[in-house]
Chain A
Amino acid sequence: MARLTKKDVIHVAELSNLKLTDSEIKKFLPQLTKIVEFVGSLTEVNTENIEPTSQTTGLINVTREDKVISENMLTHEDYFKVKAIFQGKDK
Chain B
Amino acid sequence: MNNIPLTIKETQEGLKAKKFSAVELVDSYLAQINKYNKEFNIFLTVTEEQAYKKAKEIDRSNFQSPLSGVVVSYKDIFLTKDVRTTAGSKILESYIPPYSATSVNRIEAAGAIPIGKLNCDAFAHGSSGENSDFGVTKNPWNKEYVTGGSSSGPAGAVSANMSLVSLGSDTGGSTRQPANFCNLVGLKPTYGAISRYGVIAMSSSLDTVGTFTHTVGDMEIMYDVLRGEDGFDGNVKNFVKPEIKKRFKLGIAKEYFIDGLDAEVEKMIFEVKKTYEKMGIEVVEISLPHTKYMVPVYYIIQPAEVSSNLGRFDGIRYGNNRNSFGEEAKRRIMLGSYILSAGYYDEYYEKAMKVRTKIINDFDEAFKTVDAIISPVSPTPPFKLGENTKDPLKMYLEDVYTTTANLVGIPSLALPSTFSTSGLPIGFQIMGPRFSEHALFELGRKYHQEIDYKPKIAL
Bound-complex Cα distance A11 to B334 (A): 10
Task: Say yes or no: is A73 at the interface (Cβ < 8 Å to chain B).
Answer: no
Q: Say yes or no: B314 contacts A17, CB within 8 Å.
A: yes
Q: Say yes or no: A47 contacts B355, CB within 8 Å.
A: yes
Q: Say yes or no: B393 contacts A41, CB within 8 Å.
A: no
Q: Say yes or no: A57 contacts B337, CB within 8 Å.
A: no
> When the two chains form the complex, which single residue of B234, B300, B347, B392 contacts A59, counting CB atoms closer than 8 Å?
B234
Task: Say yes or no: is A82 at the interface (Cβ < 8 Å to chain B).
Answer: no
Q: Say yes or no: B322 contacts A52, CB within 8 Å.
A: no
Bound-complex Cα distance A11 to B209 (A): 35
CB neighbours (8 Å) of A16 from chain B are 307, 330, 333-334, 336-337
Interface size in chain B (residues, C-beta < 8 A): 50
Task: Say yes or no: is A28 at the interface (Cβ < 8 Å to chain B).
Answer: yes
CB neighbours (8 Å) of A55 from chain B are 205, 235, 409
- Known A18-B330, A42-B352, A57-B235; contact A52-B357, beta-carbon cutoff 8 A: yes
- Known A16-B337, A43-B351; contact A31-B331, beta-carbon cutoff 8 A: yes
Q: Say yes or no: B322 contacts A28, CB within 8 Å.
A: no
Bound-complex Cα distance A18 to B335 (A): 12
Q: Nearest chain-A residue to B206 (Cβ)?
A: A56
Q: Nearest chain-A residue to B313 (Cβ)?
A: A17
Shortest CB distance A22–B (Å) = 14
CB neighbours (8 Å) of B392 from chain A are 31, 35
Task: Say yes or no: is B344 at the interface (Cβ < 8 Å to chain A).
Answer: yes
Shortest CB distance A71–B (Å) = 22
Q: Say yes or no: B338 contacts A32, CB within 8 Å.
A: yes
Task: Say yes or no: is A91 at the interface (Cβ < 8 Å to chain B).
Answer: no
Interface size in chain A (residues, C-beta < 8 A): 39
Task: Say yes or no: is B290 at the interface (Cβ < 8 Å to chain A).
Answer: yes
Task: From A9, A15, A20, name the one whose CB has the most chain B CB atoms within 10 angstroms.
Answer: A15
Q: Mark A1-19, 1 if CB is under 8 A from B, else 0.
A: 0101000110111011111
CB neighbours (8 Å) of A68 from chain B are none
Stretch at the interface among B252-260, B268-276, B291-299, B448-456: B291-299
Q: Say yes or no: B296 contacts A38, CB within 8 Å.
A: yes
- Known A35-B299, A39-B296; contact A20-B314, beta-carbon cutoff 8 A: no
Task: From A17, A20, A56, name the one whose CB has the most chain B CB atoms within 10 angstroms.
Answer: A56
